[in-house]
Amino acid sequence: MNGKKFDPNVIRALITEYCSQEWPLIPLLQKIQEECGYIPPELIEPVADALHLFPSEVQGVISFYSQFSLNPRGKYVIRVCRGTACHVRGGRSVLKIIKRELGVEEGQTTPDYHFTLETVACLGACFLAPTMMVNKTYFGKLSPPKIGSILKQYEK
């Protein structure tokens, strides 16, 4: 859905479904983000009320985990590794190419909500350095031509 209006009935159903689970907050937030493309700030209070938490506790979890966003994200979230192995093998140039191709800085989303660009401390695939992810798919041993072809796969 990514940045579009969410269906309150769907959100209510998710909250009801997850309230009965043990430790429901993180899985519930993940589902809300999956449905909406982000966690709309106006949902913090209803989630907190349903789970008998303070809104600040829900906000704290959202701000602690980098997987959560309070701002609309693109359909495809690109994560570029900043780890040591990736840095040594050209990770900075990978990031520079992607920024130029998408016309955004890290932490930004393209105006059409198609891509969001992020950097992460380590993707845990050092043997493939330099690496990046598009949503849940890893790409490694990146070169300028390979980056271009990867981005083209996701353009439509």
Query: Residue 120 is encoded by which pair of tokens?
Result: 């992460």
In CATH, the number for domain 8-64 is 1.10.10
Q: Given a cut of 70, is residue 3 above it in pLDDT?
A: no
Q: CATH topology for 76-153?
A: Glutaredoxin (3.40.30)
CATH 3.40.30.10 location in the chain:
76-153
CATH 1.10.10 location in the chain:
8-64
pLDDT averaged over the chain? 91
Q: Over the stretch 121-134, which tens digit does the pLDDT of each residue have?
A: 999 999 999 999 99
| Mean pLDDT along residues 62-81 | 91
DSSP 8-state assignment for residue 76? E
Q: Over the stretch 132-152, which tens digit does the pLDDT of each residue have?
A: 999 999 999 999 999 999 999
CB atoms under 10 Å from CB of 51, counted, come to 17
